[in-house]
Structure 1
Amino acid sequence: MTTRRLFPLALLMTFALASCEKDEAALPTQPAALLQSHWQLTQIDAFPVAASSYSETSKSYLEFVELGTCTVGLGPCNNFSGRYSLAGGGQELHITPQISTRATCPVQDLETRYLDNLALTARYEISGDELRLYDATAPAPRLLFRRKAQ
């Protein structure tokens, strides 16, 4: 990856993390399993996702950063970040529309679906090493993730 391509990414991440403020009131209700994990994307709707097109070794992922209730991740094409909030005793999860870098790739439609589904998230479930994100209407999860071994 060239320095020219890394600069916009570094700038985006700087702005995204700078906008994150520590919310002391929200910290006690945030489940550790959600926050202390690197979640690799495995499925978008009914479409399995094996890797990102970003590189053959990088996999699309999502992380929830406790400090400032921020999200960071990698889609099939671009890095992204945004914010999240938990409510309803911890099962309700709302994710803001994500800000992403703007590289195009052959699976741009898949990335658009990924980011759109993140913004539709209304609740989540964790079962073992699997994270399921649901919207407010569908009984099936819109996104599936697998916890990456640390």
Structure 2
Amino acid sequence: MKKILLTSLVALLTLPTLAQAEQLLNDANQQQTIQVKPKETIIVTLPANPSTGYMWQFQPPEDGTIKLVGNWKHTPSKKNTPGAGGETTWRLVAGQSGETTLQFFYRRPWEDASVEAVQVREYKIVINSTSSAASTPASAVKPWF
């Protein structure tokens, strides 16, 4: 009986370390180099206010280094005020080893890409299977979709 209890306790204590690691990116770490491992999840959250007509635009790299999982999601501000902003979030997953730069452009969706964005966010991503970067455990992140 003690052996079963001890085994169960060890399993419960190691369970959080088995969770898929996630990197959380926002305005605070833009223009930084982010180290991730293949198949690691990257969550990007940026402040946005679609009521102004502006939205973040993102196109995943075509080289397979980063893939978009599902669609972006906008979460309104907790303030129940007309015109209040919120956050737009993307869930990405690192693919093959390599380097890429994630670029997010804040512009009106009906405008041509030649129109300069009012805001730009960039994150340099290095995907390396030997990366020892500290990650936020998935158990610490609230699900958003």
The structure with more radius of gyration? 2
Q: Which has the higher helix share?
A: 1
| Fold shared, TM-score > 0.5 on shorter chain | no
TM-score (norm 1): 0.28
